Amino acid sequence: MSENPEKHHQIEIYPHTHQKRISSRRPLAVWLVVLLLGAVYLALSHAVALSWRDNGRSSASSPPQAVCVQPAALFPSDADGKLEEAYGHISSDAFRSKTIERLSGAVQIKTETFDDLGEVGEDRRWDVFFGFYDYLEKTFPAVHQTLRVEKINTHGLLYTWQGRDSNGLDAAYRKPTVLMAHQDTVPVPDDTIDAWTYPPWSGAYDGTFIWGRGASDCKNQLIAILEATELLLQHGFQPKRTLLLSFGFDEESFGYHGAGNLSAVIHDRYGDDGLAVVIDEGAGFENVWGTLFAKPGTAEKGSTNVEVTVRSPGGHSSVPRDHTSIGILSELITQIEATQYPARLDERNPYFAQLQCGATHAAAFPPKLRKLLARHRPSNASPDHPGHPDPLAIEAAKQGPEIKYLLQTSQAVDIVAGGVKVNAMPERAKAVINHRVNIGETTQVVYDRLTRIAGGVARKHNLTLHAFDGQDEADSILLVAPHSSESSPISPADGSGVSPFSVLAGSVRAIYGEETIVTPGIMTGNTDTRFFWDLTKHIFRFAPGYDPEDQVGGLRGIHTINEKVNVNNHINAVKFFFLFVRNIDEAEV
Ligand SMILES: *[C@@H]1O[C@H](CO)[C@@H](O)[C@H](O)[C@H]1NC(C)=O
Ligand SMILES: *[C@@H]1O[C@H](CO)[C@@H](O)[C@H](O)[C@H]1NC(C)=O
Ligand SMILES: [Zn+2]
């Protein structure tokens, strides 16, 4: 643990300055007195510093100890010649051209999912996943010959590599590892195809990037996992711990068909808390405060979509009412957008941990944030009442919207509908508002605020308010929340002992060097891991690929045009999975 540099400074500098003032011509007595005074001063200031730390939580000049401990770079101890050779092979030109071909091939298979898909087996649009599986089977022969492959709900893929010791005496140390990714991609709207530099299903390689829908969200992750597994199999690795690969096929539209069913099968087999660790797609790397951070997501914000419907009388528009349903809905939306949810940094929020990591390890950490961080107190807020303004959160949010929404509930009016005819006043107008709920708050915060705002508008227009009560009548404003989930449990992320987090962090530092700081991260979006909360506390949403030469990092163009992945970044992801599987196999977690 690095100590506070200012403290060293204080202890060392006084004897030094005192010595400087002492001229050799002065009598010994004076010299002794000065030394004595110096010693007394030191002892006193030390005592003051100690009591200061005991009383307060932590002062600006003494951040708490044992924060953001970084495990050493972690390499497997069972040095095995063949596996070391395989690890080296990942960096070779031969492997590079092979994996470009394999990832490009995967991108070329159009596996879009849509929000309006029907049942598997009925809606023919699911059938693209048969072709995708055939491609995987022929591209990774060792995986498909050696591992048990099960198709869950037709297209969900569950691979089991049975660990040797799974039934042995130390089985408690050998819960399975799960590596996840999804086979599907978001659709490419037809009218955007022309805007792509390379066509979205081309898998084109331009010397640096592979282009196409799914190239970075997240066929790269799926292929990297399979590449690493294939190499481990080919080079004689025999896991002590069971390794599961779980690939859903509708992550981009809720995930029930895929991950929902996969997790149910895994749960039947291994039970509550039956897994050692889950790694799924997620956050990657960030260069900030002069430091490279890897940010495996240890939590997801909550989310809820609220439908707002205004029902008011119709009639001929030649004799209109002053405010139609559309006008009233607009007034409501304007009021909702007029204020935002407060920025608030709960101490359990992984971004709080990142600030602590920054204060501890980043040379260019902003002094203002450092000061506010040292003064931060656990908020007096309850989950449903945000409490006083939070100066640390407000200052941190100034770094930009990407940071702000790590520590603030978001609201976005994304869908609006109403009106059918130009000469008829609409009897209904409806909007859907998407929210991502801050750590430490609940969806109830959102419902309470919308109820209050809608109540005012309803009174003004003499309408009845039905807020989340399931009722519906004419002349009313209705609030309904068909989809909601609270924020996820927070995965433990202590780098000081042996834990899934420290194995992950040690593997990252083995690949990228020990100047890389691994901090917990937070996801503003959801992943398939939401079906795995009961299965383990140790869930990490992590994109392990990074190219130090390309600071833009991963996740380029996801959900929009020109999605692409840097091949160096992809190759480092293969290294990560290769190393992580071996490291976690040895760890007693
Ligand atoms: C399994 O998938 C079906 C639809 O294919 C869905 O209705 C069901 O809820 C899923 N099961 C789970 C446990 O999510
Ligand atoms: C409000 O609506 C009620 C019926 O819903 C009606 O009796 C009343 O007269 C209305 N008041 C105003 C001010 O329009
Ligand atoms: Zn994804």
What's the predicted TM-score (pTM) here? 0.84
Pocket of ligand 2 (CB under 6 A): 462, 475
Q: Quickly count: other Cβ atoms within 10 Å of residue 174's Cβ.
A: 21
> Is the separation of the CB atoms in 177 and 159 below 8 Å?
no
User: Exactly one of 251, 528, 563, 585 is catalytic; which is it?
Assistant: 251
Two tokens, residue 295: 């940010």
From 322, 462, 476, 477, the mutation candidate for ligand 2 (largest count of ligand atoms within 8 A of CB) is: 462
pLDDT of residue 80: 77
For residue 549, pLDDT beyond 90: no
End-to-end CA gap in the chain? 23
Mean pLDDT across 532-539: 98
pLDDT of residue 165: 65
Element holding 552 (H helix, E strand): none
d(CA 86, CA 347): 42
- Report domain extents, the chain: 1-40, 83-284+541-586, 302-334+412-485, 342-408
Q: Which two tokens stand for residue 553?
A: 């990092």
Side-chain-side CA neighbours of 70 within 13 Å: the count stands at 24
Integer Cα distance of 112 and 126 in angstroms:
9
Q: Is 256 in the pocket of ligand 1 (CB under 6 A)?
A: yes
The confidence band for 119, taking pLDDT boundaries of 50, 70 and 90, is very high
The two tokens of residue 559 are 């959900």
Q: Is 251 a catalytic residue?
A: yes
Task: Give the distance (Å) from ligand 2 centre to CA of residue 413.
Answer: 30
Ligand 3 centroid–CA 182 distance in Å is 7
Strand, coil or helix: 294: strand
Mean pLDDT of 339-364: 95
Q: Catalytic residue at 427?
A: no
Tell the residue nearest (CA) to atom 3 of ligand 1.
257
What's the gap between Cα 318 and its chain centre?
53
Among the listed ranges 154-168, 199-213, 271-285, which one has the minimum average pLDDT value?
A: 154-168
**How many angstroms does the Cα of residue 461 sit away from the middle of ligand 2?**
9
Q: How far apart are CA 12 and CA 353, in angstroms?
A: 30
Summarize pLDDT for 2-32 with one digit per residue, the tens.
333 333 333 232 233 333 333 334 445 545 5
Helix boundaries (H) for 364-519: 367-375, 391-397, 401-404, 443-460, 500-512
Tell me which fold the domain 302-334+412-485 belongs to: Alpha-Beta Plaits (3.30.70)
> Is the CB of residue 291 below 6 angstroms from any atom belonging to ligand 1?
no
* 298 pLDDT higher than 70: yes
What is the CA(463)–ligand 2 centre distance, in A?
A: 8
pLDDT attached to residue 266? 98
What number does the ligand 2 atom closest to the CA of 464 have? Answer: 5
Percentage, residues of the chain above pLDDT 90: 79
Nearest to 369 by CA among 10, 5, 52, 63: 63
**Which of 125, 152, 256 for mutating ligand 1's site (highest number of atoms within 8 Å of CB)?**
256
Can you name the CATH fold of 83-284+541-586? Aminopeptidase (3.40.630)
User: What spacing in Å lies between the alpha carbon of 475 and ligand 2's midpoint?
Assistant: 10
Question: Distance from the CA of 261 to the center of ligand 1, in angstroms?
Answer: 6
Distance 363 CA to ligand 1 centre (A): 49
Output the CA angle 326-328-334, nearest 5 degrees: 100
Of the listed ranges 7-16, 405-414, 563-572, the one predicted with least confidence: 7-16
Cβ-contact 583, 238 below 8 angstroms: no
The atom of ligand 1 lying closest to the CA of 260 is 14
HSE (side-chain half, CA atoms, 13 Å) at 63? 23
Q: Based on the number of CB atoms within 10 Å of its own CB, is 247 exposed (0-12), middle (13-18) or buried (19 or more)? A: buried
Q: Which-ligand-closest: CA of 458? A: 2
Q: Which ligand is nearest to the CA of 523?
A: 3
pLDDT, tens digit, 9 for 90 and up, residues 393-405: 999 999 999 999 9
Query: Edge-to-edge strands of the sheet including 410-418?
Result: 410-418, 428-437, 302-311, 476-485, 464-467
Topology agreement, domain 83-284+541-586 and domain 302-334+412-485: no
Classified as helix, coil or strand, 231 is helix
Ligand 2 atom 9 nearest Cα: 462
Both structure tokens of 540: 């990490």
* Catalytically annotated residue among 184, 252, 281, 300: 184
Provide DSSP, 391-414.
HHHHHHHTT-HHHHTTSB-EEEEE
For the CA of 475, the closest atom of ligand 2 is: 5
Give yes or no for a contact between 439 and 390, defined as CB atoms under 8 angstroms apart.
no
Contacts of 155 (CB under 8 A, 6+ apart): 120, 126, 129, 130, 133, 183, 249, 257, 258
Find out whether the beta carbon of 120 lies less than 6 Å from any atom of ligand 1.
yes
- Looking from the CA of residue 462, the nearest atom of ligand 2 is 1
